[in-house]
Amino acid sequence: MDHGPARCPAGARLPLLLGEEHRQSEAAIRASGVPFVLLRNSWYNENYTNAVKQSVSRGVHYGCAGEGRISAAARVDYAAACAAVLTAKDDPSGRTYELAGDGGFTLAQFAAEIARLSGKPVRYENLPEADYQAVLVKAGLPEAAAGFFANTDTGISKGALYDDSRQLSKLIGRPTTPISATIKAALA
């Protein structure tokens, strides 16, 4: 996952740029001696909100994630997890929660869902990482941001944002918000 010590289901370290910063933060928290609970949020459904209308207008959604699955959830789901931890009857101090959306989707499935909900053809085009970064720069992202997102997509292709543990839905007591609901809201 991209937050905290990035791990795929097998527990291997993942090559996401954001992971090292989170590992250092967690180490500092643990070393402080202050009681803590770590909530390691995976990717957010809303990370894709801005791309929905652009994908419809172009008929294509670009990325470099291959067939990698993304276990994203909505911000409201992660907020509910925070509330559940803060109001828990049992003291959760020292626990680490790996939070991710239920199921998961590929960017090809994401594009297909945009097409279904918009009624317009949208396909996924998988690019090499450097080409995807160039597309993002051409779209107006700063070079560093484009590099971050391209690196994340490459990590996705290797399983970096897939987690089928369902810890988030167990913690909040309901299924997480599906990406289709986020797409529908973005199209409204």
C-alpha separations of 115 from 17, 58, 157 in Å: 31, 11, 22
Q: How many domains does the chain have?
A: 1
What average pLDDT does range 51-60 have in this prediction? 95
Instruction: Let me know if 128 is exposed, middle or buried by CB neighbors in 10 A (0-12, 13-18, 19+).
Output: exposed
The larger pLDDT score, comparing residue 21 to residue 170, is at 170
**Cα 161 to Cα 164: distance, rounded to the nearest angstrom:** 10
- Decide if pLDDT at 11 tops 50: no
pTM: 0.85
In a domain, 138, yes or no: yes
Question: pLDDT of 126-158, one tens digit each?
Answer: 999 999 999 999 999 999 999 999 999 999 999
CATH number of the domain where residue 51 is located: 3.90.25.10
Amino acid letter, 32: S
The verdict on residue 71 lying in a domain is yes
Q: Is 79 exposed, middle or buried (0-12, 13-18, 19+ CB in 10 A)?
A: exposed
- What range defines the domain where residue 29 resides? 17-187
- What pLDDT sits at residue 58? 96
* Model pLDDT, residue 150: 95
Q: How confident is the model at residue 8 (pLDDT cuts 50, 70, 90)?
A: very low
pLDDT at 18: 64
In a 13 Å sphere around the CA of 50, the CA atoms on its Cβ side amount to 6
3, part of any domain: no
